[in-house]
Structure 1
Amino acid sequence: MLNGYGSTILDGAWLTLLLALSSITMAVVLGLIGAAFRLSPIKWLSLLGETYATVIRGIPDLVLILLIFYGGQQLVNVVAPMVGYDDYIDLDPFWSGVFTLGFIFGAYLSETFRGAFMAIPKGQGEAGMAYGMSGAKVFFRILVPQMIRLAIPGFTNNWLVMTKATALISVVGLQDMMFKAKSAADATREPFTFYLAVAALYLVLTSVSLLALRYLEKRYSVGIKAAEL
């Protein structure tokens, strides 16, 4: 299959999936922190959150990937001798990709989560407090479940975009399926065949993800439409 490169590209596809899942985990954490900062009544925290979201969303992903990877590489090798480590340090492409994509899409998710929290009527939290619930219980039992339901559509879009953006990490040496496909295409001089295979694999990954997230959205929306009617 694929001139003997099929298993190699599938190995790359597994690495791509691990990269996407690890990156989205980091992005969710940064997105929640960013949303909390942007909604904070403390002015400097709010400004910090807004700056993060505005700057990162305003720079192309590929430019950020190159800046963070090569800038981080240079910074690490400048700092290392200061702490007594004189050998040159090569950053791992996988974890560099996780950090970079997580940092980039954390900014996008901060907007998604901020909008979801703002869409929850203030009376919901006030009612919970009136019933004697603590602030933590109101947040986790009333606000978070509703935030998840409202954020799923935006989260789905960001996940799909981020999954496709994993292909960009191949430019810093990660041997994902895009890297493996390029190597195979160079060796066989059949680029169309291998890039078409990669496109099909990305389509399978995003389609399965879309079905899973739509199912999750329906689960969190049970009883909502009936209540609205």
Structure 2
Amino acid sequence: MRQVLVTGGGSGIGRAIAQSFAAAGDQVTIAGRRMDALEETKGDSTMICRTLDVTDEASVAALFDQPYDVVIANAGGGAAGKVKDLSLDDWNRVINVNLTGVFLTFRAALQNIGEGGRLVAVASTASLQGGSNIGAYSASKHGVLGLVRSIAVEVAKAGITCNAVCPGFVDTPMADDAVQGVMKRFDIPREKASAMITANNPMKRMIRPEEVVAAVTFLASEGASMVNGHALAVSGGEI
């Protein structure tokens, strides 16, 4: 039975990932800021719930009181706004959660992960291209991909892999926040805002969480042992 850790496991993509690994028979630990959300993810499963602030070094270190075979760095967030209007506080907050959080998580994991270990970062299509009003988010996710590629080289000889999944807009509460932001900014109805959000996706729809889960599951599998330092886009052809 593999020991699997999922950060940001209280909702959205993290919840879907955790529930999928648990259903497959892995022992899953989910970590996040809100215990109530983690308990909702857990349901009646055997998942272990741990509170975590990925931006806090001590909090992350405390989480790794045992080794994990698969570590999925999923915790993240964003701040919309043009760079000229972005406050330093918002910039630092996004960088700390999205990039420093992945660094702290993977650094701690590498202290005791063994051969066959899998590190997977849930990044974004914003790791692969820029975009208006997402300067901080895109910069942080580009950083995640650079970190993933560097770790991949460092751990390859130990039989460990490090990869990134790069989804576009996924049908989660975070994407709903983006839709509501567009609705407010342009004073338009939800349907039109959703169409704007998915305009660059050739399939013209949001990605389902289970479609991201499938990519993560593959990268964590034995069959992906030679996939290392890769950015796997889940974007309907946008990337």
Question: Is TM more than 0.5 here?
Answer: no
More strand by share: 2
**TM-score calculated relative to the size of structure 2:** 0.28
More helix by share: 1
**TM-score calculated relative to the size of structure 1:** 0.29
